[in-house]
């Protein structure tokens, strides 16, 4: 019996996204609503890759899914880590280092140059972080990582 395209997408999505969800490091500093928003973002990213690769054999699709799911996991963990810096004194430029990693992983995920408004989003996050406004900071990070999949 041949699998339908939707079965292939569902199977690949489950295989490549479930390990992200099961690993707690992506949400430890987030409230439930934030975790849900970030989870939906990540799901959309991996689903886009699963749809894009649905007609490829597993041997060809798996490296693409592995790359994108790894990038998604690293971005989600980075967002969580950045939120965790709010209200904490910055050490060794931890915020800048973590933000750099998020942006590099976003570039790796999209295979595109970063969007021109990213600098503004980073500045908005830093302002919200300085004001210890966790929700505004999270929303700025979420806007920063938006891609065409959203």
pLDDT, tens digit (0-9, with 9 covering 90-100), for 26-62: 999 999 999 999 999 999 999 999 999 999 999 999 9
pLDDT tens string 59-88? 999 999 999 999 999 999 999 999 999 988
User: Looking at the predicted structure, is the pLDDT value of residue 5 above 90?
Assistant: no
Instruction: For residue 2, report the phi and psi dihedrals to the nearest 5 degrees.
Output: -85, 135
pLDDT at 95 over 50: yes
Which residues have CB under 8 Å from 72's CB, separation 6+?
A: 17, 20, 42, 45, 46, 109
d(CA 18, CA 15): 6
Taking only the tens place, the pLDDT of each residue in 115-134 is 888 989 999 999 999 999 99
């Amino acid at each position: 019996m041949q699998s339908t395209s939707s079965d292939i997408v569902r199977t690949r999505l489950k295989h490549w996204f479930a390990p992200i969800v099961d690993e707690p490091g992506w949400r430890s500093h987030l409230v439930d609503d934030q975790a849900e928003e970030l989870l939906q973002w990540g799901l959309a990213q991996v689903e886009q890759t699963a749809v894009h690769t649905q007609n490829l054999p597993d041997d060809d699709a798996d490296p693409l899914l592995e790359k994108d799911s790894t990038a998604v996991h690293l971005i989600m963990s980075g967002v969580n880590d950045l939120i965790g810096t709010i209200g904490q004194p910055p050490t060794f430029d931890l915020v800048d280092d973590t933000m750099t990693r998020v942006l590099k992983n976003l570039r790796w995920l999209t295979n595109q140059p970063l969007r021109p408004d990213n600098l503004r989003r980073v500045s908005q996050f830093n302002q919200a972080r300085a004001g210890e406004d966790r929700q505004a900071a999270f929303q700025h990070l979420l806007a920063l990582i938006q891609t065409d999949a959203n």
